[in-house]
Amino acid sequence: MSIAKIVVMLGAPGAGKGTQARQLEEKFHIPQISTGDILRGIAKENTPLGEKVREVQAAGKLVSDDILAEIVNQRTSKEDCNIGFILDGYPRTLNQAKQLETIAKKQNKDVLVISVDVLDDLLLKRLTGRRSCPSCGEIYNVYYKAPKNENTCDLCNKVLVHRSDDKPEAIEKRLQEYHKNTTPLISFYKEKGCLLSIDGTQPPDRVFEMLCQVFNK
């Protein structure tokens, strides 16, 4: 990327955006910034901001947009983000998107938004079929990447787990919430002319190839 960019990865749960973002980080040597990871790190710090985040989390509330914007700005102002960075999990709302515009202007960077699009029916199949190993963390899928022995990890022979948030009812709720929050974002970025949609139903290698073509431009 010749011009410093903030790359926003959008995609519903199960679309594969997190995996693709990590691969892009490795190939192009620009950091993938996860607001969830940052918040968990800050909550462990003995600082005024860390205390504030701990209080919010202890109350079972979401961190405010203003605090999130401050955190994102602090992290992305570091030297490793000078040529650009990838945002995963931020922005999630229209207000956060507008705050990101302020950050981008302050850092003299352009915003590029990539939406990895997958139909809900396929997302349901991907997520309900997901099984994980509680020991080594290996991920399987009963439809696409089944273990050699039913419900047993190929690597460490532990019984695989079907997470509660991968049950159909929970997934449908997560998808509804995602569409509710993301529809205004899509409209906002379309109007700005910085939204690029990628067909996420294709094999992961092909999706990554298309993303690389975007980055190389």
Query: Catalytic positions, please?
Result: 17, 92, 130, 163, 174
Q: Would you tell me how many other CB atoms lie within 10 Å of the CB of residue 129?
A: 17
Give, to the nearest 10 degrees, the angle between helix 35-43 and helix 48-58: 110
Helix, strand, coil proportions of the chain in percent (round to 5)? 50, 20, 30
Structure tokens at 129: 């079929």
* 88 within 8 A of 33, measured Cβ to Cβ: yes
CA–CA dist 6, 85 (Å, integer): 5
